[in-house]
Amino acid sequence: MEVAVLKYSGEKTGRNVSLSDNVFGIEPNDHAIYLDVKSILANKRQGTHKSKQRNEISGSSKKLKKQKGTGGARAGNIKNPQFKGGGRVFGPQPRDYSFKLNKKVKDLARKSALSYKAKDNSIAVLEDFNFESAKTKQYTSLLKSLSLNDKKTLLILSEVNKNVVLSGRNIENAKVTTVDQINTYDVMNADSVIFVESSVNKVVDLLNKES
C-alpha cells in the first residue's frame, strides 16, 4: 500500500512511502484487539479501592441487647453490617487488576489495529519535522493544515522530541507517542494515525521482529 508523504503545511512532497502488508495489510483479529485493549485498561487501574469490614470499625464489641425476649431481631454489637456506620460485608479490597498477555498476541493486536486504520484510509505520513520551541499553537497549526483539528489524532514519532511532545500535550484530542510506546488502545481510539516518515520502517521492524 502506497501513501503520499506530506509536508508540514499539508502539501504533497511528491514522494510515496510503502506500508508493509505484513503490518498494515493483515486480516485483523478482533479477539486479539479485545484482549490487548482489556489488558491496557486493566493495567491503568490503581486498584486502591477499600472499604472497612466489621473487624476494622471502631466501636464497642458489647452485645447491644439480650438475645431473646425483646420482640425484635437479635443483634450483636454496634459494628453489625446492618447498622448505620457498621462494617461492610464483602466490600472492595485493594487488588492488582493487571494480567499478562503473550507478546505475539500483543503484536498481532497492534498489527490488526493498524490494518483497520489502513483500510479506512486513516493513516497519514508526514516528512520528519521539528519545532524550535514548545508551543501549542504550532501543533494546532499542523493539525489544521492536515484538516484534522476536529478529530482524535495519534502522532507517532521515531524517537522522543521534547518540543513536539510538549506542544501537543495540552490539546484534548491529540496524543503524541513514539514507535516503542505504540499500543493498540491508542491506535483504535484515534480517528487518524499520523506517522513521521522515519517512523514507518521502525514500526514494521518492531512488529515483525521474531519473538
pLDDT tens, position by position, 155-209: 999 999 999 999 999 999 999 999 999 999 999 999 999 999 999 999 999 998 7
DSSP string, 107-156: HHHHHHHHHHHHHTT-EEEE-----SS--HHHHHHHHHHTT-TTS-EEEE
pLDDT tens, position by position, 123-166: 999 998 988 899 999 999 999 999 998 899 999 999 999 999 99
Provide the whole-model pTM. Answer: 0.83
**Which overall architecture, per CATH, does domain 2-46+97-208 show?**
3-Layer(aba) Sandwich (3.40)
Question: Is the CB of residue 119 less than 8 Å from the CB of residue 190?
Answer: no
Q: Kindly state the DSSP code that residue 79 receives in the 8-state scheme.
A: T
Domains of the chain, by residue range, sit at 2-46+97-208, 51-91
